[in-house]
Amino acid sequence: MSRSAHPAGPRHADVLPEGHYTAPPADLNSLDPRVWAQTVERTPEGAVAVGGLDVRRLAEEFGTPAYVMDETDFRARCRAWRDAFGSDADVYYAGKAFLSRAVVRWLHEEGLNLDVCSGGELATALDAGMPAERIALHGNNKSDEEIERAVEAGVGRIVLDSFQEIARVAHTAARLGRRQPVQIRVTVGVEAHTHEFIATAHEDQKFGLALAGGGSSSEAGEGPAAEAVRRVLMLDSLELTGIHSHIGSQIFDMAGFEVSARRVVGLLTRIRDEHGVELPEIDLGGGLGIAYTPEDDPREPHEIAKALGDIVTRECEAAGLAVPRLSVEPGRAIAGPTAFTLYEVGTLKELEGLRTYVSVDGGMSDNIRTALYDAEYSVSLVSRASAAEPMLSRVVGKHCESGDIVVRDAFLPADLAPGDLLAVPATGAYCRSMASNYNHALRPPVVAVRDGQARTIVRRETEEDLLRLDVG
């Protein structure tokens, strides 16, 4: 969000601290479709409904805090990505965004593949019935157990991340009598326009093998990536199917993908010239951004598909290469907009001339992203409509931590009171996946809503769950 003073009128307008806020919206009751799932609407009574169900009913039945997922929206986004890329490309949902057995079944039914990066994610995928050949295993430090389970299950590809991993996967595949399809993850020297902690394609980080040697990102094919290709091609138990690149997360600008594709194609050209092999696939990863606030302007799947397809085709034709199959890995772009977190308001503290602190019954244990990445979110009063003036607010959690902030700066109605329900949209990605038991908080449930029906797909933790693990 931009940092601008709001006009006279809203409460706390006399002194304005530096913050991440804009002028208050003209209507605090409006729900911007850019940040809310497609079936979310405000009813004539003033409350918000999703999938035809009033959030007050959901709060009563499932409690708060709760992640509420619009299954219709999730499935529609799966189809939009699948249709945008068509039969000449593969779409892998990045399971790290949010994964459960129900989500795996939705992906399978909607025709998407699945990218996993841990033994737990792999176990969930296999248990829920995702065909192993439609699974990719990622990770920078896969255990021997994870590698063995993936090879034994017959996953469609393992993305290799180091020289040691090449040897370990090859050894496991040979011992099991398999020829394992693999890709090599490369770092292409592109720093995406994103937070430092989620930029993943510059050389100084833990992922992948650099295209260039000596810390330079100039010429592809001179560094560890080319050596990794040479080693894989020498091993009979490995089948090199492509090159993988991932440049970051929450990206809106396609320029980084263009640079990445150009450098990967440079490596493909060297592989052809030196080894006589044309690899059949390029995976450009994921990281496409979503709208957390109305100021965000993400691209639609069909725009992304056309842009990426044009980039790869242009670079390959310029290099005299056959155009390889393209793979992408949207995670946040599918799951993120499909859910909101439902909270109940507890205490309110007005700091005269500054803002009002609005405490809710969750916090950094169910959404660490604000504290970790300085992420920005929207928030709305959803249990009723209000005609009150806007109040500059900071939505905070109940944890013993000053950084326990859910929404740093937002405008909420000045008549907000304990017991009201707030909802923070666009929390379908990474919030439940990164949730914790800080202060022994109980992780919220995930409730899926579709066509007037709601069901728990991940249940709320209980105190018994906590105590069961405490064996001391």
The DSSP result for 32-82, as a single string, is: -TTTS-TT-EE-TTS-EEETTEEHHHHHHHH-SSEEEEEHHHHHHHHHHHH
pLDDT of 259 reads: 86
Q: Which of 404, 409, 421 has its CA nearest to residue 367?
A: 404
Query: From start to end of 371-460, where are the E strands?
Result: 380-381, 390-396, 405-413, 421-425, 446-450, 453-458
pLDDT of 293 reads: 93
pLDDT of 30 reads: 95
Weakly modelled stretches of the chain, pLDDT under 70: 1-22, 191-203, 213-222
CATH number corresponding to 138-330:
3.20.20.10
The domain locations on the chain are 41-70+337-469, 138-330
Tell me the pLDDT tens digit for each residue of 32-41.
999 999 999 9
Complete edge-to-edge strand list for the sheet that includes strand 48-50: 41-42, 48-50, 53-54
Tell me the pLDDT tens digit for each residue of 21-57.
567 888 999 999 999 999 999 999 999 999 999 999 9
pLDDT of 155 reads: 98
pLDDT of 20 reads: 52
3-state DSSP assignment of residue 31: coil
pLDDT of 439 reads: 97
- The neighbour count for residue 123, using CB atoms within 10 Å, is 14
Catalytically annotated residues: 400
pLDDT of 2 reads: 32
- On whether the 41-70+337-469 domain is CATH 2.40.37.10, my answer is yes
3-state DSSP assignment of residue 191: coil
pLDDT of 309 reads: 93
CATH topology identical between 41-70+337-469 and 138-330: no
pLDDT of 22 reads: 65
pTM exceeds 0.75, yes or no: yes
- Cβ atoms of 384 and 46 closer than 8 Å: yes
- Cβ atoms of 100 and 124 closer than 8 Å: yes
pLDDT of 248 reads: 77
pLDDT of 13 reads: 42
pLDDT of 212 reads: 76
Is the backbone peptide bond immediately before 65 cis, with ω within 30 degrees of 0? yes
- Cβ atoms of 180 and 158 closer than 8 Å: yes
Backbone angles phi, psi at 267, to 5 degrees: -65, -40
Backbone angles phi, psi at 436, to 5 degrees: -135, 175
Pairing, β 281-283 against β 380-381? unpaired
pLDDT of 222 reads: 66
